Amino acid sequence: MKNIISFVLLVCASATYAAGPETVASANRALWPELIDSPTAFDKASRAEMLVFAEVLSQVSMQNAETLKSQLRIKKVNLASVEKIRNKLAGQLLKNWQVAVCDNDAVFCPKITSSQDMVAAGIGLAAKLPENYRAWHSNAKLFHKNYANELIRLAALFPAVTSEIDSFSAIERDGSELPDRQFVLTFDDGPTNKGGNTDALLPLLQKAKLNATFYMLGERLQARLQQTDAAVLSDSFQGQCVALHGWEHQSHAKWDKWQESIEKTNALVKKTFPSQYSAWFRPPYGQRKADSEGFFKKQNLQVGLWNIDSQDWNNHVSGDMAAQRVFTLMLLWRHGVVLFHDVHPKALVAVPWLLEKTNNTGVVWKSCQSY
């Protein structure tokens, strides 16, 4: 009986912490009727995604509190947070539009000087589309509706349930400060046991001359060190960056031992990876205390959030779905930190696909050391 009660409490706690979307946005890139094989082609597809998202974001975020509660299946809505995030996202879209080179395409290159212009252009897009873009547009509308719901749900819950949707201080970074077309790869929750997904991912990155930041859980690193000598493990991460994800994967906004979790993990990561250590902490679920800036400064740590979530942890998302979702969000946001998990095999499918898809498009996978 005790075990059953513990299991129920664990499930309830996980549901509270994760605050995950009921429906995950999923894209079908095969419906875009042109090859994305150059910077110009990337910009055209980018502008197309921005127009659709601008329209949908306006529709979703302008709902009243009662409608949002019902639509997003949540009990409380912070309308001030929703407005703040809507304005932040709309402002970012406008900046992105201004750097996406226009080739004078009549459909995807309307004159836009304000967020209102972008919404209006998004609304009018369907009437201008050639026939071969209509299947893409239908899929894009559904993708961006679900994606907007994901973001507005996080905004509506913030800061009662903290997440990557907003920051508390300058020590928190989510990738939105990166230059255009620059992206950083990150992987959470590892390392896996010897011979697991982490070990399969590392040579893939090294072969592609890519590096990433691995946000490790202290208890999993400790378990791995029972299987692999520390020097051997460190050597396998040559060229990568290793940071901390806390000792256990639980909310650091709810846990009374959150400081101990960070300090203990920090010490173990530093000791194990003297050459690869990176002074970053990524809070599980993106959840951390609003007043934790002073603690992180004393620990000389920055907080690493993200703005492109692959959702590869979700049982309903395959590796191919994660890849197509990430690429669509790369077109939309044009720069940022991409979140994967090396404890799941989906990155082994998604990362090679993304590398091939972004080849010759001007996309730069930024070195984790230089971030």
SS in 3 state form for the chain? CHHHHHHHHHHHHHHHHHCCCCCCCCCCHHHCCCCCCCHHHHHHHHHHHHHHHHHHHHHHHCCCHHHHHHHHCCCCCCHHHHHHHHHHHHHHHHHHHHHCCCCCCCCCCCCCCCHHHHHHHHHHHHHHCCHHHHHHHHHHHHHHHHHHHHHHHHHHHCCCCCCCCCCCCCCEECCCCCCCCEEEEEEECCCCCCCCHHHHHHHHHHHCCCCCEEEECHHHHHHHCCCCCHHHHHHHCCCCEEEECCCCCCCCCCCCCHHHHHHHHHHHHHHHCCCCEEEEECCHHHCCCCCCHHHHHHCCCEEECCCEECCCCCCCCCHHHHHHHHHHHHHHHCCEEEEEECCCCHHHHHHHHHHHHHCCCCCEECCHHHC
The tens digit of pLDDT for each residue in 215-235 reads 999 999 999 999 999 999 999
Question: Are both 278 and 317 inside the same structural domain?
Answer: yes
Residue 2 pLDDT: 38
Question: Are both 67 and 136 inside the same structural domain?
Answer: yes
Question: Are both 176 and 319 inside the same structural domain?
Answer: yes
Nearest CA-CA partner of 84 in 19, 21, 156, 176: 156
Last residue of a domain, one of 123, 157, 191: 157
Residue 143 pLDDT: 98
Question: Are both 125 and 217 inside the same structural domain?
Answer: no
Q: Does some domain include residue 27?
A: no
Q: Domain residues for 137?
A: 34-157
Last residue of a domain, one of 108, 133, 157: 157
Q: What is the CATH number of the domain that holds 294?
A: 3.20.20.370
Question: Are both 143 and 183 inside the same structural domain?
Answer: no
Q: Is 275 exposed, middle or buried (0-12, 13-18, 19+ CB in 10 A)?
A: exposed
Q: Does some domain include residue 85?
A: yes
Question: Are both 227 and 120 inside the same structural domain?
Answer: no
Last residue of a domain, one of 133, 157, 181: 157
Question: Are both 179 and 111 inside the same structural domain?
Answer: no
Which amino acid, residue 119? V
Q: Does some domain include residue 249?
A: yes
Residue 16 pLDDT: 39
Question: Are both 218 and 91 inside the same structural domain?
Answer: no
Question: Are both 280 and 189 inside the same structural domain?
Answer: yes
Q: Does some domain include residue 28?
A: no
What is the token pair recorded at 174?
Answer: 């989510």
Number of structural domains (the chain) is 2
Question: Are both 131 and 193 inside the same structural domain?
Answer: no
Residue 20 pLDDT: 64
Q: Does some domain include residue 6?
A: no
The tens digit of pLDDT for each residue in 339-360 reads 999 999 999 999 999 999 999 9
Question: Are both 202 and 124 inside the same structural domain?
Answer: no
CA separation for the pair 134, 210 (Å, rounded): 36
Q: Does some domain include residue 26?
A: no
Question: Are both 194 and 73 inside the same structural domain?
Answer: no
Q: Does some domain include residue 23?
A: no
In the chain, which stretches have pLDDT less than 50? Answer: 1-18
Reported residue count of the chain is 371
Q: Does some domain include residue 274?
A: yes
